[in-house]
């Protein structure tokens, strides 16, 4: 059992010895070690910036991802259960409002994705928001960004666990099985699926997840005309309240919030330049899926009283109802492992050195290393299981996280990175785009919070007890 040991600061060699070591390393190794100076590290372990010979860098997953597999990974991460709420958002906003918010979110999030790409090109081995924040603004910024980013990851994992649980309950509702049983089943499925140790490994099973969300979308589009029965009504604009409009807009914006994992994606990409291809393809594919489903469902089901959120609930009976639920459970279980993989890795890097004094190398595929990963994924998903069961108003809690965290991480942080780093290298008109994206994020942060906090107050009043079989979600 060979572990990577903590190395004291005093292990730094003098300049002459350092030069000898440098001469035997490739330019990539030197770049890697330079970037590791800014690596996110809560456990107090020393990164390879303190000792060029520190084998700690061997823990990092290798660059195996190609643009094609990254495209599927990004689509699986974005085209999730969020797409199923967009039709009801269109019903609230109308054609003009719905298309405007959807198209604006598509264009702005594509731009902020490019901001992250440029930052990754400049610092090719920075692997997270936290690491980039430390690189630019120091440790306080690192801890602040890390707290928000990983809290959001935790919220996504918990939300997926809750979604899978409620889908099980909806599918087997007639058997009157306690909700806690479905929590345990969902937790076990996600834990098993989460044994993929890198995003490259996850990318293969994500192909299944994409298929299993596209099929329900196609089924809903095919069944909407018969369900609506020709009674659908649509409107160009809407006279909805400010609060309802904000809530509907947040449902659309949430479907494009995947940026906080982009550094992790690029860190496993063979050629970082290929990220642009995957970004454009995944954004456009997601936009097409969202717009198609929203347009068809709104046209046939709009203002009939049959529109549901998620829209798959419009199919209430028959074999197709069960097919939709089964596919949704499988999709959520698989996509949960994307955020879960990143979060579990952070948990492992933080706590395992405290227990055994170091980490095993990533390329170690032995039983012991697999068991450690099994343990930390179990702890990570287990914490989500506890939180989802304890907080009776978790759905509204996720809404608050969306307005507070996703706007900050998707719009404001990438814009701030780019603006800060390239301030002296861009003309005045080139600075306007990141400023615009930042302002949009700030508006979402402030205005969106109003609607979600209001819904939270209502949820607290109508929720049941934690871990109760009949609790309201």
Q: Which helix (H) or strand (E) holds 4?
A: strand 4-5
- pLDDT of 190: 94
- pLDDT of 116: 96
Confidence at 241, pLDDT banded by 50, 70, 90: confident
- pLDDT of 175: 81
Strands (E), 284-437: 358-359
For residue 200, what are the CA distances in angstroms to 68, 335, 347, 363? Answer: 11, 13, 19, 13
Mean pLDDT of 121-149: 90
Mean pLDDT of 123-127: 83
| Token duo for residue 101 | 């918010």
Tens digits of per-residue pLDDT, 337-385? Answer: 999 999 998 898 888 888 887 666 777 677 888 898 999 999 999 998 8
Tens digits of per-residue pLDDT, 384-420? Answer: 888 887 765 555 566 566 567 888 899 999 999 999 9
Sign of the dihedral through C-alpha 10, 16, 22, 24: negative
For residue 274, what are the CA distances in angstroms to 21, 29, 45, 114, 246? Answer: 32, 21, 32, 12, 35
| Residue (of 171, 134, 299) closest to 231 by Cα position | 299
| Residue (of 258, 251, 276, 263) closest to 411 by Cα position | 258
Task: Compare 37 and 142 and report the one with higher pLDDT.
Answer: 142
Please state, for a pLDDT cut of 70, what percent of the chain lies above it.
Answer: 78
For the chain, how long is the longest CA-to-CA vector? 82
Q: CA-to-CA distance for 293 and 316, rounded, in angstroms? A: 18
Q: Which helix (H) or strand (E) holds 299?
A: helix 275-301
Confidence at 145, pLDDT banded by 50, 70, 90: very high
Confidence at 204, pLDDT banded by 50, 70, 90: confident
pLDDT, averaged across the chain: 80
Task: Compare 101 and 445 and report the one with higher pLDDT.
Answer: 101
Confidence at 54, pLDDT banded by 50, 70, 90: very low
Mean pLDDT of 138-155: 91
Q: Which residue, chain included where needed, has tokens 């090109």?
A: 121
Residues in the chain: 473
- pLDDT of 469: 66
Q: What is the pTM of this model?
A: 0.80
- pLDDT of 302: 87
Mean pLDDT of 236-246: 82
Mean pLDDT of 455-471: 60
- 46 has pLDDT over 60: no
Confidence at 473, pLDDT banded by 50, 70, 90: low
Confidence at 36, pLDDT banded by 50, 70, 90: very low
Q: Which residue, chain included where needed, has tokens 């829209």?
A: 311
Q: CA-to-CA distance for 275 and 262, rounded, in angstroms? A: 9
Whether residue 83 is preceded by a cis peptide bond, meaning omega within 30 degrees of 0, is: no
Confidence at 144, pLDDT banded by 50, 70, 90: very high
Report all structural domains of the chain as residue ranges with CATH numbers, in order of start. Answer: 64-393 (1.10.4160.10)
Tens digits of per-residue pLDDT, 246-303? Answer: 878 888 888 888 898 999 999 889 899 999 999 999 999 999 999 999 999 999 998 8
Tens digits of per-residue pLDDT, 414-448? Answer: 999 999 999 888 888 888 999 999 999 998 888 87
| Residue (of 404, 351, 376) closest to 147 by Cα position | 404
| Token duo for residue 86 | 């967009």
Task: List the end-to-end C-alpha distance of the chain, in Å, as a whole number.
Answer: 46
């Amino acid at each position: 059992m060979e572990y990577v040991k903590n190395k004291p600061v005093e292990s730094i060699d003098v300049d002459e010895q350092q030069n000898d070591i440098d001469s035997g390393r490739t330019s990539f190794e030197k770049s890697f070690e330079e970037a590791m100076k800014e690596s996110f590290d809560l456990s107090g372990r020393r990164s390879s910036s303190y000792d060029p010979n520190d084998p700690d860098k061997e823990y990092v997953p290798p660059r195996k991802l190609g643009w094609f597999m990254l495209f599927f990974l990004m689509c699986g991460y974005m085209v999730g259960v969020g797409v199923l709420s967009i039709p009801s958002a269109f019903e609230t906003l109308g054609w003009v409002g719905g298309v405007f918010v959807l198209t604006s979110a598509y264009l702005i999030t594509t731009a902020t994705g490019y901001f992250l790409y440029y930052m990754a090109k400049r610092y090719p081995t920075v692997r997270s928001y936290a690491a980039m924040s430390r690189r630019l603004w120091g440790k306080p910024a690192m801890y602040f960004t890390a707290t928000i980013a990983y809290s959001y990851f935790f919220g996504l994992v918990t939300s997926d666990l809750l979604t899978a649980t409620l889908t099980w309950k909806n599918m087997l509702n007639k058997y009157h099985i306690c909700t806690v049983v479905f929590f345990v089943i969902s937790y076990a499925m996600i834990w098993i699926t989460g044994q993929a140790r890198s995003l490259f490994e996850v990318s293969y099973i994500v192909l299944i997840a994409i298929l299993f969300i596209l099929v329900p979308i196609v089924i809903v589009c095919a069944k909407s005309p018969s369900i609506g029965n020709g009674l659908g009504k649509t409107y160009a604009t809407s006279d909805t309240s400010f609060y309802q409009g904000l809530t509907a807009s947040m449902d659309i914006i949430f479907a494009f919030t995947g940026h906080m994992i982009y550094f992790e994606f690029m860190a496993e990409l063979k050629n970082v330049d290929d990220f642009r291809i995957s970004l454009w393809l995944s954004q456009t594919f997601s936009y097409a899926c969202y717009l198609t489903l929203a347009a068809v469902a709104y046209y046939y089901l709009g203002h009939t009283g049959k529109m549901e959120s998620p829209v798959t609930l419009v199919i209430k009976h028959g074999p197709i109802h069960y097919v939709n639920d089964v596919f949704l459970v499988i999709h959520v279980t698989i996509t949960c492992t994307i955020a879960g993989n990143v979060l579990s890795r952070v948990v492992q890097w933080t706590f395992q050195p405290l227990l055994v004094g170091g980490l095993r190398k990533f390329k170690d595929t032995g039983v012991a290393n697999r068991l450690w990963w099994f343990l930390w994924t179990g702890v990570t998903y287990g914490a989500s299981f506890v939180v989802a069961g304890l907080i009776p108003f978790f759905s509204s809690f996720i809404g608050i996280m969306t307005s507070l965290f996703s706007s900050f991480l998707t719009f404001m942080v990438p814009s701030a990175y780019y603006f800060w780093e390239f301030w002296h290298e861009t003309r005045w008109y080139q600075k306007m785009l990141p400023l615009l994206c930042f302002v949009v994020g700030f508006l979402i942060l402030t205005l969106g919070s109003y609607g979600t906090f209001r819904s939270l107050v209502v949820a607290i009043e109508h929720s049941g007890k934690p871990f109760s079989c009949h609790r309201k979600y």
